[in-house]
Amino acid sequence: MMNGVTFKNPEFFYLLLVILPMVVWYVFRYRKSGASIRYSSLKGFSGLTKSWKHYLRHLPFVLQLAGIGLLTVALARPQSSNSWQDVTTEGIDIVIALDISSSMLARDFQPNRLEAAKNVATEFISGRQNDKMGFVVFSGESFTQCPLTTDHAVLINLFKDIESGMIEDGTAIGNGLATSVARLKESDAISKVIILLTDGENNRGEIAPETAAELAKTFGIRVYTVGVGSIGTAPYPVQTPFGTQMQDVEVKIDEETLQKIADITDGRYFRATNNDKLVQIYEEIDQLEKSKMEVKEYSTKDEEFVRYAMLAGLVLVTGLFLKTTLFRNIP
């Protein structure tokens, strides 16, 4: 259980600035109120002692300042909060499934689709310090590049080492998703998420994408699918006898299948047509998962301003009473 105090209207604390001119005015008035009389000798006053009223003569003013301070706190509306969370909970477990087929080398993203996806994913990982994350790559087949870990530095370094051509070419979306599910199915995290990014159509692998999606649903795993590629055609590097040349290739993304995967698993499908859009998508996923974590936490807030208001009234009344009675004639 965590306890804390927050303020609903913290702007009222600016009222405390009035205390400074009050102190200045009080000191100025106090110095002017003291009358002076000249004596040739002070011997006749040497035996006199000062009363307790003299030593407490500033008490009414101090109580007035304290009352103003307490009243300001009351106006700021302090709220105490109690929240409970299971300390054994691991938070959110996330696996990023990245297509590394040769088509990811297309240059409609800068410097290409694969490098753009790696860069944005790295930023995403850096911002999720409290989550365990893993990494799966796929093209004609799939494998786990990094299992779930909290060591994000290791994960980022493994991301940087990824290149197209590491495994057989093709696009096995179903296999990539199934491998990701295998990484998460034993997790006891409060939320399990797969971010699957591809730029093509499923044309390889033994597992259909819809079958893998149903498997993810069985284990309570939410899948965010991201289709990467511009609309129409995209420049693609082609090896020719004259060296590497750019050739416009038609962009084919199986958006229907990616949308179906998202629907089955209660996720969402996104289409990234450029670098900026890809960044926005990861930012949106980041916010979606943060809000889901907050919903799972239980918290209560109690208003505390009444006790401060009552205490402020008591202190102000006490100060006024002392000033008009016991300290009425004390300068």
Domain ranges (residues) in the chain = 5-27+51-84+299-326, 93-292
Give the pLDDT mean for 308-328. 83
CATH classification code of 93-292? 3.40.50.410
- Assess whether pLDDT exceeds 60 at residue 62: yes
Angle in degrees, CA 292, 293, 297, rounded to 5: 115
On whether the CB atoms of residues 138 and 100 are closer than 8 A, the answer is: yes
On whether the CB atoms of residues 233 and 103 are closer than 8 A, the answer is: no
The residues, ordered by sequence, that sit 6+ positions from 197 with a Cβ below 8 Å of its Cβ are 96, 97, 98, 99, 117, 121, 225, 226, 228
Give the pLDDT mean for 23-48. 63
CA distances from 179 to 91, 104, 176 (A): 21, 20, 5
Split at pLDDT 50, 70, 90, the class of 48 is: low
b (16+ CB within 10 A) / e for 255-269: eebbbbbbebbebbb
Split at pLDDT 50, 70, 90, the class of 82 is: low
Report the greatest alpha carbon distance in the chain.
119
Tell me the C-alpha distance between 25 and 329, whole Å: 19
pTM exceeds 0.75 for this model: no
